[in-house]
Amino acid sequence: MSALRPSPITPTVDFERDGVQHGFLRLPYSRDDSAWGSVTIPICVVRNAKGPAALLTGGNHGDEYEGPLALYELARTLDPKDVTGTVIIVPAMNYPAFRAGTRTSPIDKGNMNRSFPGRPDGTVTEKIADYFQRELLPRADIVFDFHSGGKTLDFVPFCAAHTLPDKAQEEKAFAAVEAFSAPFSMRMTEIDTVGMYDTAAEEMGKVFVTTELGGGGTARAETVRIARRGIVNVLRHAGIISGAVEKGRTRWLDMPSGDCFTFAEEDGMIETMVDLGDKVDEGQVVARIHSVGRTGVAPQEIKARMSGLLAARHFPGLIKAGDCASVIAVEVG
């Protein structure tokens, strides 16, 4: 394989300079309304001397708001005097998607979390992924990527890491999850790992931590508070900012298999039969999908394929065949 060409992205910040810098990752993007235009992705670097480096991202999906709300605030307020090492903050990673309020990019329909390792000569989304893959991830010791459910899902608020083949790496990630102190902490199973930022970071040996803090295409007061307190806790836990971790009670959840998920088999109107956090028994009807094209049709029953608690649910009132209807998680230890 020939060597990849350099990234077309130019940072306006210097990653080796002490102090606070607010700048951009500038990606040339020539288009009808701006011949020599760029996509300018906001970035903040807070550095003070040598020490560990954290890479913090929100807006990997453009319709999830707890991460951006926590990270624009952190970038505005973090004092380098309180830092040992480096904090790199990109509050809206898929910036075109974030500006459009959509999960994927309006430019190329790119889902950032399915675009890794990216391409320097690919689409806008692939070029951003490539820059993270080759320029930003290698700088980091700990990588924290905020997610929420977006417009189509709603979650109980949890911080999460993946079970990994490298148990030392896995243990560090779960320790950071514990420090985040969300109401729930998750040992996560993915249904579709190819192209994920998570996988890219983990394969580089980084400590990778993520969240699902709510959803519905908005943020709640409680979930924003969880995000803001949690990220400070993680930076304290990593020794990058001073002060003690503010521990809260967390309940550990596991997603042991694909049986966690249920999917709609028909289009219709969804009626949730249990609320987020409620206990669910295997075989229990967790949702019903009502046919709307005519009257007199019995609803499709969505039954839990395992016992646990309702960790996520389809958010909008209408659902389509193939949509994820519910996620059940098991409370552990």
The rounded distance, in Å, linking the Cα atoms of 191 and 185 is: 18
Using alpha carbons only, what angle is made at residue 280 by residues 147 and 271, rounded to the nearest 5 degrees? 75
Q: Does 147 bind Zn ion (CB under 5 A)?
A: yes
Q: Which of these segments, 27-35, 133-141, 145-153, 270-278, binds Zn ion (CB under 5 A)? A: 145-153
Nearer to Zn ion, 159 or 304 (CB): 159
The helix (H) or strand (E) run that includes residue 168 is: helix 167-180
Q: Which of these segments, 27-35, 142-150, 180-188, 230-238, binds Zn ion (CB under 5 A)? A: 142-150
Q: Does 314 bind Zn ion (CB under 5 A)?
A: no
Q: Which of these segments, 61-69, 88-96, 251-259, 285-293, binds Zn ion (CB under 5 A)? A: 61-69
What distances in angstroms separate CA 65 from CA 58, 88, 91, 279, 308, one per listed residue? 8, 19, 10, 27, 27
Give the list of residues 6+ apart from residue 333 with CB closer than 8 angstroms, or none: 252
Do 58 and 71 touch, CB atoms closer than 8 A?
yes
Site pattern 62..81 for Zn ion (x: CB under 5 A): --x-----------------
Q: If we measure between CA atoms, which residue out of 250, 225, 272 comes closest to residue 158?
A: 250
Shortest approach of Zn ion to residue 147 CB, angstroms? 3
Nearer to Zn ion, 64 or 126 (CB): 64
Among 47, 61, 172, 237, binds Zn ion (CB under 5 A): 61
Nearer to Zn ion, 61 or 206 (CB): 61
The rounded distance, in Å, linking the Cα atoms of 148 and 59 is: 9
Record the tokens describing residue 8, joined without a space: 């077309």
Q: Does 206 bind Zn ion (CB under 5 A)?
A: no
The reply to whether omega before 42 is within 30° of 0 (cis) is no
Nearer to Zn ion, 64 or 323 (CB): 64
Nearer to Zn ion, 64 or 198 (CB): 64
With CB under 5 A as the rule, give the number of residues binding Zn ion: 3
Binding site for Zn ion (CB under 5 A): 61, 64, 147
